[in-house]
Structure 1
Amino acid sequence: MRQLILDLLPDAAPSLDNFVAGSNGEALACLHQWQTQTPRETCLFLWGDAGAGKTHLLRAVGVRYIDATTDPALATLAEDDTRAGLQLAVDNVAALDAAGQIALFNAFNRLRASGGALLVAAPEPPLRLTLREDLRTRLGSGLICRLQPLTDAEKIAALATQAAARGVRLPPEVLTYLLARAPRDMRSLSALLASLDRYSLEHKRPITLPLLREVLHARVEA
């Protein structure tokens, strides 16, 4: 199923406009304000469970993005990434190794000195992370916002809204099946909806539970 979802991911890049906020309206407003206000805190720390939208928001702000799970040493981070006025986004900071923690500590100091900004994300707030103390202190010195996963009702409402924008109606049993069988983050669910819509148009058939099962079976077989 995971490979299936990867095959279905939509081309649309994450943006603040296509972020489904749910109960995270306050956190989203905090991000907007943090981006635009002057002066501002050097660091904004987003934390929350998997699927809450942390990676979406870090990618949506359109700045230099690094994922510590694929670059734990921050080897791709250049000093130019922290020059005056720039912003840097580092995802999954809990995965940083010793070298990466030193690199982020130094990057934080350069950004603070140059008027830049750092946006970071992790599953836990700074003080609960197993990181060197001086880095945890700096990450916890700015704004900290928790993101809450969407409820099933919020996901269903969001999918229904997306479907309506596409001019299609999703029967309740299709929505229930999607929530039961697909990864529960909105990006994956939206990808499945996009694939269903394409398949429905290509075969000139309405979206029904049998059609959904057919699409999933065809993808798995492929």
Structure 2
Amino acid sequence: MMSHSPEKLWSKCLEVIKDNINEASFNTWFMPIVPLQYDNNVLVLQVPSQYFVEFIEEKYIDLLRKTLYRVLGEGTLLEYRVLIDKTSGQGTRIPSEGNHPRPAAAPAGAAPRYVDPYQKQRLPEIDPQLNLKYNFNNLVEGKSNKLARTAGMSIANDPGKTIFNPLFVYGESGVGKTHLANAIGVLTKQLHPDKRVLYVSANTFLIQYTDAVRRNAANDFLNFYQTIDVLILEDIQEMMGKTGTQNTFFHLFNHLHQNGKQLIITSDRSPLVLAGMEQRLLTRFKWGLSAEIEKPDSELRKAILKNKIYRDGLEISDEVVDFIATHVTDNVRDLEGTLASLLAHSTLANMPIDMHLAERVVGRIVNIKPRATTVEQIRDLVCEHFSLSVDAISTRSRKREVVQARQIAMYLSKHHTKNSLSSIGDLIGQRDHATVLHACKIVTDLMEIDKSFRMSVKEIEQKLKA
């Protein structure tokens, strides 16, 4: 007699399923399932989330139904239990749509079945074409993107129902428009799994439309896009001068907007300077919110770098982070590319990611203009560090703090300027070159044995580099 233990029954089902799908899919979608109950010809399976139910119903329901019929018998019903609260164990039961067989075709001569045009038809799932690695969790907020990011999160929570419709995001290449657009789509799908979200570039839209016209299928093309709940169109400037495509997009825009659907549009320029775009479209772009994403400021650049370093599990000093943020200033893409290049060089050459490597790598990405350091700058910085006047180290004073400050100024001038020893001595207290050489030796020796002294010199050097 067959055991009715749900664990044993499900174990037999898994044996069948495992033979019919690849290992990765099996481990991802079937191993996390827990059999709870088998009673009255109904098998109850606990799944981690609602998304699991939707994915299995879409991709594997035929295989699952055939397996249940084979192991448990024809007519076995399936229910899912989605765990809502792990602490209390509270969950909700969802019957499988596979429990209901598809209606048989109407016999010849039967009266036609009329479909209510006002009844919403269930549409098949589509691939939203989103890049899941671009999400709000790793989209660091700063002054340059705060408005667009805040509006994006508001849209994802209630698509089509906010005043930000359409959301028109513009800015130079690499500032984060694509990241934001994808993040809105990803969060929308997480919060509203039933929404039909589609991310598409204007160039792809143009190619699809041209192909549809060639095949006499322009109406099918338009009908498909009219079913989208959240349309994310990237790089609208690609449509400039394309009158036919603009006309189609105009009608699509009107349909979606009037039906409470959300539109998100990105561009590399403001709507005010989109030459070659129909005025009626430009007017509609201004119905919602136009938000510019500017180049990231210094604080945001550092935050972006630290966020990526943390997520990638790297160890990079603040000094290197500050150096990259100071010199790679144009956009986020360059910042991330610099980090990737640093990691590659470090791994292949088996070198630590330090200032030496950072200077080499960054120097190949951006043009670093070395700043000419003068003896006067060093002298003033040393005096400021030790709270001395410039006149103090220019005197013949033998006070310890004055002598040390003078010697440090000479040592740093020798290492950070191209001035001769005589020139350095002349600018710092009118000393000769032998005095400068003696000062450099004293500082070198003290740095080897006196940690506090060494730290003072290094600190002044850091200020000099900054």
| TM-score, length of structure 1 as denominator length | 0.74
Q: Give the count of matched residue pairs.
A: 206
**Over residues 107-133 of structure 1, what are the superposed CA-to-partner deviations in whole Å (9 max), with x where a residue is unaligned?**
201212333211001233324322111
* One of 37, 47, 53 as aligned partner of 2:170: 47
SS of equivalent to 1:75: helix
Q: How does 1:33-112 map to 2 (within 5 A)?
A: 33-37=154-158, 39-41=161-163, 42-62=165-185, 63-68=197-202, 70-71=203-204, 74-76=206-208, 78-84=221-227, 86-96=229-239, 97-112=242-257
Partner Cα distance (2:181, 2:282) in 1: 19
Query: Shift of the alpha carbon at 1:28?
Result: 0.9
Match for residue 141 of structure 2?
Answer: 21
Residue aligned with 1:74, SS: helix
Q: Give, in whole Å, the separation in 2 of the partners of 1:178 and 1:153.
A: 8
Q: Which moves more between the two structures, 25-34 or 203-212? A: 203-212
Match of 1:162 among 295, 308, 333: 308
Q: Distance in 1 between matches of 2:156 and 2:227?
A: 15
Shift in Å, 1:86: 1.6
Gaps of 5+ in 2: 1-130, 186-196, 210-220, 365-466
Q: Which residue of 2 aligns with 1:124?
A: 269
Question: Which residue identity does 1:211 align to in structure 2?
Answer: L
Larger Rg: 2
In the alignment, the residues of structure 1 paired with residue 266 and residue 250 of structure 2 have an alpha-carbon distance, to the nearest angstrom, of: 15
Q: For the Cα contact (< 8 Å) 1:44–1:142, is it kept in 2?
A: yes
Aligned counterparts of 2:306 and 2:336: Cα–Cα separation in 1: 10
How far the C-alpha of 1:45 sits from its partner, in A, is 0.9
Q: Which amino acid aligns with 1:64?
A: L
Offset, 1:203? 4.8
Bigger Cα displacement from structure 2, 170-179 vs 86-95 = 170-179
- Counterpart residue number, 2:153: 32
Deviation digits for residues 184-208 of structure 1 (CA, Å, limit 9, x no counterpart): 3213322331342354345543102
The answer to whether the 8 A contact 1:83-1:114 is kept is no
CA deviation after TM superposition for structure 1 residue 64, in Å: 2.1
> CA shift at 1:178, angstroms?
7.1
Match of 1:197 in 2: 343
Whole-angstrom CA distance in 2 between matches of 1:216 and 1:115: 47
Identity of aligned residues (%): 24
Distance 1:48 1:216 in 2: 24
Partner secondary structure for residue 159 of structure 1: helix
TM-score scaled to structure 2, two decimals? Answer: 0.39
> Do the aligned residues in 2 keep the contact of 1:75 with 1:100 (CA within 8 Å)?
no
Q: SS of the residue aligned with 1:14? A: coil
The DSSP-based 3-state class of the residue aligned with 1:119 is strand
Report matched runs for 1:1-12 at 5 Å: none
Whether contact under 8 Å (1:174, 1:209) holds in the other structure is no
Unaligned 5+ segments in structure 1 are 1-10
Deviation, 1:168, is 0.6
Counterparts of 1:89 and 1:12, CA distance in 2: 14
> What do residues 154-186 of structure 1 show as CA deviations (whole Å, max 9, x unaligned)?
213321343245241246357535764x68321
Change (3 A) 1:200 1:12: farther
Residues in 1 aligned to 2:132 and 2:354: alpha-carbon distance in whole angstroms: 25
2 CA distance for matches of 1:153 and 1:143? Answer: 26
Give yes or no for contact 1:82–1:116 (8 Å, CA) kept in 2. Answer: no
How far has the Cα of 1:33 moved from its partner? 0.9
Contact residue 173 and residue 209 of structure 1 kept, 8 A? yes
